[in-house]
């Protein structure tokens, strides 16, 4: 196997720690626009024999976006990986100590040994839509929490809670308007949203979550899409022991959106309803049946986007 040079960048709010293999050369830069430019310049200044073919960065809730965008703009291959996967890799390699510098070296070693697939940075409009959807979800969660507090709050506090709920609901309405504007500006997204919402049970909220948070939909196989969302069940077997298979990992925000869509689909979508009824008739638990229906719904959505066919056309072909 040909050795693949790799580099790792440990990202924190104030710093970017760089390690490049072989040699594990390390350097620290501020996590600012200037620091990101300096980091890219140092990488490009390395001799060709030492320059990493791939940079590996952990997903850190958004702190990594600036440096990933800078690397992508400089045409440096970059892979954003799951932190849990890297931590498990470090433990397997016997690297138990944890500092920013050590973590950068582990990321470089992970890139060299595991060879994660490079993924480009989503276009600016996708990142904007993703941020709006994330904020909408946060507002909905906070509104629900405040309304729950209303029931047990002392009487003098109720007015304050109600005022806060009113302000957040106004913010939610504003976010929804911004989302409408973002979608309207993109003919591609308008078509994609129309395709997705043509499926009974799928509303604009779910469609937009899929557009922003699962851009691979329609460009990968249904099996790959299922794995990305975290709906692929993992076996738990050892010797004679056969544990219950469970889903794990993946994109939880997409999974939540699909769950709500599936709740609607088992009532109004004839294909999903028939699948759900069949599973329940076989004695499957509600959760098991729901996850199976979520997988089926995701498979249908993937096929509709890939073939560019509305539900009516797709359903008529499936039943022909």
Encode the chain (320 residues) as per-residue pLDDT tens digits: 445 789 999 999 999 999 987 665 689 999 999 999 999 999 988 888 888 999 999 988 778 888 988 888 888 899 888 888 899 899 998 888 889 999 999 999 999 998 888 876 666 778 888 889 999 999 999 999 999 999 889 988 999 999 999 999 999 999 999 999 988 888 888 889 999 999 999 999 999 999 988 888 888 888 888 888 988 776 666 666 666 667 667 788 899 999 999 999 999 999 999 999 999 999 999 999 999 999 999 999 999 999 888 888 777 666 55
One domain for residues 176 and 258: no
* Tokens encoding 157: 């506090």
HSE-up of residue 93 (Cα within 13 Å, Cβ side):
18
Domain carrying residue 151: 124-185
Asked whether residue 45 falls in the same domain as residue 140, the answer is: no
**Following DSSP, what letter does each residue of 274-318 receive, concatenated?**
HHHHHHHHTT--HHHHHHHHHHHHHHHHHHHHHHT--HHHHHHHH
Query: Is 195 inside any structural domain?
Result: no
Residues 52 and 144 occupy one common structural domain: no
Domain with 69 in it: what CATH number? 3.30.420.40
Indicate whether 250 and 278 sit together in one domain: yes
| Nearest-angstrom CA–CA distance, 80 and 35 | 19
> Number of structural domains, the chain?
3
Considering the domain architecture, whether residues 179 and 219 belong to the same structural domain is answered as: no
Phi and psi at residue 243, in whole multiples of 5°? -80, 170
Sort 170 into a burial class: Cβ within 10 Å, 0-12 / 13-18 / 19+. exposed
Task: Say if residue 231 is in the same domain as residue 213.
Answer: yes
In a domain, 319, yes or no: no
């Amino acid at each position: 196997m040909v050795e693949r040079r790799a580099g790792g960048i440990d990202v924190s709010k104030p710093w970017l720690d760089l390690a490049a293999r072989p040699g594990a050369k390390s350097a620290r830069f501020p996590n600012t626009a200037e620091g990101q430019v300096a980091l890219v310049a140092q990488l490009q200044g390395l001799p060709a024999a030492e320059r990493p073919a791939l940079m590996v960065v952990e997903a850190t809730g958004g702190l990594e976006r600036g440096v990933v965008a800078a690397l992508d703009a400089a045409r440096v291959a970059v892979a954003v990986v799951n932190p849990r996967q890297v931590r498990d890799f470090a433990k397997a390699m016997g690297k138990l100590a944890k500092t920013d510098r050590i973590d950068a070296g582990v990321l470089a070693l992970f890139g060299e040994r595991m060879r994660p697939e490079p993924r480009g940075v989503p276009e600016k409009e996708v990142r904007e839509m993703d941020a709006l959807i994330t904020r909408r979800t946060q507002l909905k969660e906070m509104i629900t929490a405040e309304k729950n507090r209303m029931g047990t709050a002392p009487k003098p506090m109720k007015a304050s809670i109600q005022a806060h709920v009113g302000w957040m609901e106004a913010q939610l309405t504003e976010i929804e308007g911004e989302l409408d504007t973002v979608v309207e500006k993109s003919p591609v997204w308008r078509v994609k949203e129309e395709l997705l919402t043509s499926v009974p049970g799928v509303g604009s909220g779910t469609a937009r979550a899929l557009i922003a948070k699962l851009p691979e939909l329609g460009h990968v196989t249904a099996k790959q899409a299922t794995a990305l969302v975290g709906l692929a069940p993992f076996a738990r077997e050892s010797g004679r022991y056969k544990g219950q298979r469970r889903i794990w990992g993946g994109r939880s925000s997409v999974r939540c959106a699909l769950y709500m869509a599936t709740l609607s689909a088992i009532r109004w979508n004839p294909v999903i309803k028939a699948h759900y009824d069949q599973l329940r008739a076989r004695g499957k638990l509600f959760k098991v049946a729901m996850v199976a229906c979520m997988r089926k719904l995701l498979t249908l959505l993937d096929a509709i986007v890939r073939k560019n066919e509305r539900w009516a056309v797709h359903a008529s072909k499936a039943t022909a």
